[in-house]
Every structure is written in C-alpha cells, then in structure tokens.
Amino acid sequence: MAMYRFLKISLVAAAVASTPVAADAADPIPAPAYRAAPLIPVIYDWTGFYVGGHAGFGWTGGGGSGVLGGGQAGFNYQVGQWVLGVEGQVSATSIKDSVSATVVLPGFAFGTARADATVDWISTLAARAGWAFDRWLVYGKVGGAWAHVSVDAVAGITTINGGASAAASADKTSSGLMLGFGAEYALWDNWTAKAEYNMMDFGNDFITDNKLHVFKAGVNYRFGFGPAPAVTRY
C-alpha cells in the first residue's frame, strides 16, 4: 500500500512539472515583423553645362517688331533647390523700326526725312538664379546686352522751283542692361524646354526707342557631371 501511494505521488509530481514545458511548446513562435524598404524619391539634377537653340519675336516701344532666332550656352550649379548659373546667347533678328518727319519751311518749301533702323543681331551675357521644383525650374536673370543696328536715312527738300534729296547709311553696336525671367522643364534624360522674356534697355544709344522687348522659346541639351540625369535624396 505504501508503494502504491509513492508511485501515485510521483506520477502527479511528474505531470505537474511537465505542464509548463508542454504549454510552452504549444505556443507559436512569433514571426519577425516585416517593414517595407523606405522609398527613395528621385529628383532631377540641373547641374551641368548646356547648349541649345531658341526662336521668338521682339518689339520696341516705337512700334517696330520682328522675329528672331539663335542659340545659347550656359552652366548651372544646383544647391538644394537653388539653381545658380550663367548664360550667354546670340540671336539674328528682323526687328525693324522707322521714324519720319515733315517740316514746313519758309518760302513755300517743306522738308521730309525718314530713317529705317533694323536690329541685325542681339546678344546677352547674364547671371541666372532659379528655384527648382524637381523637373520644373523658374528663374530670373540680369546682365549685359548688345545690339547691332543698321540705319538707312533719306532726307529731301521740295520748293516751288524743284527739289533735292540725299541718302545715308550707318551702323552701330549699342550696349545696355538686360533683365529677364522664365521657366524651364526637363522633358527626358538631358533635354529641357524653356520659355523666357527679356527686356533690354540701351538708354539713349539706340534707335527710335531705348528699350527692346523679346519673348522666346527654346530647347537645351545638358551635359551633366555624371551619367545619370538625376540624384537621390534619403
């Protein structure tokens, strides 16, 4: 009887001791938590040299106007969202302005004069500063401007006894200040498209009006420092 009681107590103790082990074995092993890799946005990098072409039209305050076309080259350097650079451009134009006058002279005579001025070419060299919104860039620019002007003038006098006339031609290169602003968009890879307005002020050293206004659109091809046209931000 004592042996039976000893065996019973031993079995109960063994069952109690094995219960936590069995419970632990029955619990599932938690799987490690999965976290998706963080997205790394890719933004366009405007840094690099570029060349391109443009076309547009121009006008003067005196009513003259014409078309223009040419090329540009420059360099950009991006710091954060700021894009700083320098750009030079030259354009051939057909912008033309005219002025004429008639003067009544004593003795039944009158004189006439007419001058036609054509802007053969314009060029600018300017600093640019802009703010980039990924593939969009808005910018302003300030610098110097030069314009070559050809002038053809005719003057005459008419009296009751007849008349006489004279003609003359001249050309000159005027210099002044240029202000402008524009927007540029990165199309794909290294190609960008832009639209820009420029105002050139030549003071009193120009044709019939001292200011020349230009609107132009164009494309640029950028030569970046690396093979990829974009950089990543973490």
In order, the DSSP letters of 141-193 are: EEEEEEEEEEEEEEEEEEETTEEEEEEEEEEEEEEEEEEEEEEEEEEETTEEE
Per-residue pLDDT tens for 18-63?
555 444 444 556 656 656 555 445 688 999 999 999 999 999 877 8
pTM value surpassing 0.75: no
Q: Which residue has the higher pLDDT, 224 or 31?
A: 224
In a domain, 9, yes or no: no
Q: Please compute the mean of the pLDDT values over residues 198-222 and round it to a whole number.
A: 86
Per-residue pLDDT tens for 119-160?
999 999 999 999 999 999 999 999 999 999 887 777 767 766
Whole-angstrom distance, CA of residue 172 vs CA of residue 148: 6
> For the domain that residue 161 is a member of, what is the CATH number?
2.40.160.20
Whole-angstrom distance, CA of residue 131 vs CA of residue 170: 44
Whole-number pLDDT of residue 148: 92
Q: Which domain holds residue 84?
A: 42-232
Per-residue pLDDT tens for 12-21?
555 545 555 4
Whole-number pLDDT of residue 160: 66
Whole-angstrom distance, CA of residue 216 vs CA of residue 64: 17
102: which 2 tokens? 């008639």
Whole-number pLDDT of residue 7: 45
List the single range of 42-46, 190-194, 215-219, 227-231 with lowest mean pLDDT. 227-231
Whole-number pLDDT of residue 227: 41
The answer to whether the CB of 216 falls within 8 A of the CB of 56 is yes
CA angle at residue 229 from 227 to 230, to 5 degrees? 115
In a domain, 84, yes or no: yes
Please state, in angstroms and as integers, the Cα–Cα distance from residue 87 to each residue in 74, 159, 225, following that order. Answer: 4, 56, 18
* Strand 96-105 with 109-133, pairing: antiparallel
The answer to whether the CB of 41 falls within 8 A of the CB of 232 is yes
In a domain, 96, yes or no: yes
In a domain, 214, yes or no: yes
- Diameter of the chain measured on Cα atoms: 166
In a domain, 76, yes or no: yes
In a domain, 4, yes or no: no
Whole-angstrom distance, CA of residue 234 vs CA of residue 39: 8
Domain count of the fold of the chain = 1
CA angle at residue 93 from 90 to 95, to 5 degrees? 135
pLDDT for 223 beyond 60: yes
Banded pLDDT at 10 (limits 50, 70, 90):
low
Banded pLDDT at 84 (limits 50, 70, 90):
very high
> Across 6-15, 69-78, 160-169, which has the greatest mean pLDDT?
69-78
In a domain, 100, yes or no: yes
In a domain, 168, yes or no: yes
Whole-number pLDDT of residue 172: 84
Per-residue pLDDT tens for 153-199?
777 677 666 667 677 777 888 899 999 999 999 998 789 999 999 99
- Nearest CA-CA partner of 206 in 125, 86, 95: 95
